Every structure is written in structure tokens, then in C-alpha cells.
Amino acid sequence: MQGLWKKPGLALAGAALAVLAQTSLAWAQAEPPKPAQIVVNDSGGDMANAMRKAFYSEFEKRYGIKVVNTSPVDMGKLRAMVGSGNVEWTVTEIGGQDAIRAEQSGLLEPLDLKIINLNEFPQHLRDRKFVFPKGVYSTVMGYRSDVFKEGNRPKTMADFWDVQKFPGPRTMQNSPTDNLEFALIADGVPKDKLYPLDVDRAFKKLDQIKKHVAVWWTTGAQSAQILIDKEAVIGTAWNGRYYGAIKNGAPILIEWNHGAIKESAFGIPKGAKDVYWGQKFLALAAEAKPQGMYADIIGYPGLNLEASKYTSPAMVPYLPTAAENLPGQFWTNLAWWNENGKAMEERWQRWMLQK
């Protein structure tokens, strides 16, 4: 020790080396070894292709970790995986009220906001604890422009129900979600007075349109294809599904008025392998540039408020968050659906069996 006191330069150098060693060790401990791959469960179809171009490829390039994607989104499978302790997904997309349900049921790992930067997101989303705000989408009306010519095109849900003025087969999702709201709006309920839903009134209104619905779709890809194949001439679907068809030349127009806008989300399943790298994936998904690229491809905007800088002006009219599109839509009340969704699904199934 005397020698070190006599040579303070050596002592300081040794101390600095010790600090560096400890810092390097801390860094090594903070970043676990890279796995060969992570698994992201998504909605499949056009959305998966867009995710690949905007997020998956960039993650692989940046970290040298392969992204394997699976589908479909399945709340039951998520619950089963977490319950059994055999979690296959690193990250999973999770929709609507299922996200609330998953959080309340303890099915998700907490978000690490030291890794994931939500500072450029709307204020009310910046302190999310378990559910990552992936983006927004809207269930909207779409119709064939070669059937409904300019000057006589549906503009409201009341028009959707008006089979005399706007004749032809319809298509809607085989689900109470959105359809109960659409029925109430068609029956005259203002979009800002929807909740709590008057369920009896909604089903009574749905009785009027039921026989005119040629196809009750069950997958996003099917929803747009029905109009492309002219099995129906007017329908409701997720905006990105119609956009994909329009981009490929289908004679479809979107009516944003009375669209049902809602948040889409990601979560890391509780007990997932490679949670750290799941957090890193979500951090990338929060960035403005890949979000802007994603919106350009699929028509679903992210929630990073800077993302529009990276979205082409030609794409903006197809986004639910565009200034001219947003005011006519309504935000789905996910809390109401979380509380009432199971009962509504059971009633819907009974209703579907009625002639």
C-alpha cells in the first residue's frame, strides 16, 4: 500500500481500470446474450408483410437476431401458454379489450420504459406499464365504386342500413364488436352518446340488416376479398384491408364517417424467453421512422407523433388519424367491452343461430 501512496498516478490508474471493469461487467449483465431468433405473433396476411418490411428486417439488420413471425392473434392461446409455462412467443400482438384483459389477468411482462422510449407518443400513453401502444386502426365502411357511382354513394351507417337507396349484398364481421355501435348509429344514436350501449336496441336494429348480409367475415383477408369478388358490394372492414385492395387496383372506396377507431397493441407474454430482446423489439417499434414506413405500406399509423414526417403525403388520406378522417369517427370504449364482451359474444352467437 505504501508503494501506491508514493505513486498516486498508478493508484488512480488502477482505480480507473477497476471502474471500467465494473462498468463493462454491468453492461454485459444488462444485455443478455443474443438468441438466434425471437418469435413475434402477429395478425398475418398483409399486416405481417408490412411488419416484415418496416420492423422485422430492421431488427434483424440492427441486432443480428432473426425474427420469426407466427399468426393468428389468439387470446386463448396466450392464456394457455402462460398458464403452462411453455411460452412460444417473445412478443404478441393483442387487440382491443383483450389487451386490458391480459393486463388484468397478469398475462404480460411489464414494459421496460428505460429501453422503450414513449416520449414522442401522446401524453396519456407515455406511462404504459404492460401494454405497448402499437398503433390505431378503424373499422370502416367500404363499397364498390363501380356499383355506387358519384352522386349516390353511402356516407353514413344509416345509408349502410338503407337497402332501398343502396341495394346489394352486404358483408360484416361475425362479431358483436363494432356491429352493435354501427347499429345504434344507424338507428340515430349520436356517436358521442353510444356508451353504455343499449344492447337490446342494437340487436333490434341488426335484425333489419341481417338477411341482407351475404357473408359474415371471420378474417381480415376475407373482409376485403368479399368486395373484390363482388360477393358483396358494400361492407365493413379494418381500414388497412381496404387500403391493400385499393392499392392493388380494386374499385373500392372507403367512407371514414362513423368508423370505429381503436388501438392495436403489443405485449410480451409473462414468462417469455428472451424478454430483454422483446423489449428491444418494442423499442424499435416505437421509433418514428419505421412507424412512418409501416403506415405507408399498410395504412395503419403508429402513435409516435413524429412518424408522419416519414409517411408519404399520398398515404395520409388513407390514415384514420388524418385530420379530415378523424372527426367523423368514434373511439371504441374498450373498458365497456372488457366488462361486457363475454356476455355480448354469447348473445351474438345465439342471435346468429336465429332465422
**pLDDT tens profile 11-45:** 444 544 554 445 444 444 568 999 999 999 998 98
Does residue 40 or residue 324 have the better pLDDT? 40
Q: Is the domain 138-261+328-353 a CATH 3.30.565.40 member?
A: no
Per-residue pLDDT, 24: 43
Q: What is the pLDDT of residue 28?
A: 44
| Domain range summary for the chain, segments of one domain joined by + | 37-136+264-316, 138-261+328-353
Q: Tell me the per-residue pLDDT of 100-133, one tens digit each, with 9 for 90 and over.
A: 889 999 999 999 999 999 999 888 889 999 999 9
> Can you give the pLDDT at residue 16?
47
Task: For residues 297-306, give the mean pLDDT.
Answer: 88
Structure confidence at residue 97 as a pLDDT band (50, 70, 90)? confident
CATH fold match for the domains 37-136+264-316 and 138-261+328-353: yes
Exposure of 2 by Cβ count < 10 A (0-12 exposed, 13-18 middle, 19+ buried)?
exposed
Its pTM stands at: 0.74
The reported pLDDT for the residue numbered 125 is 85
Average pLDDT across the chain, whole number: 90
pLDDT on residue 18:
53
Please tell me which residue, 97 or 16, carries the higher pLDDT value: 97
d(CA 245, CA 229): 11
Which CATH number is 37-136+264-316 given? 3.40.190.10
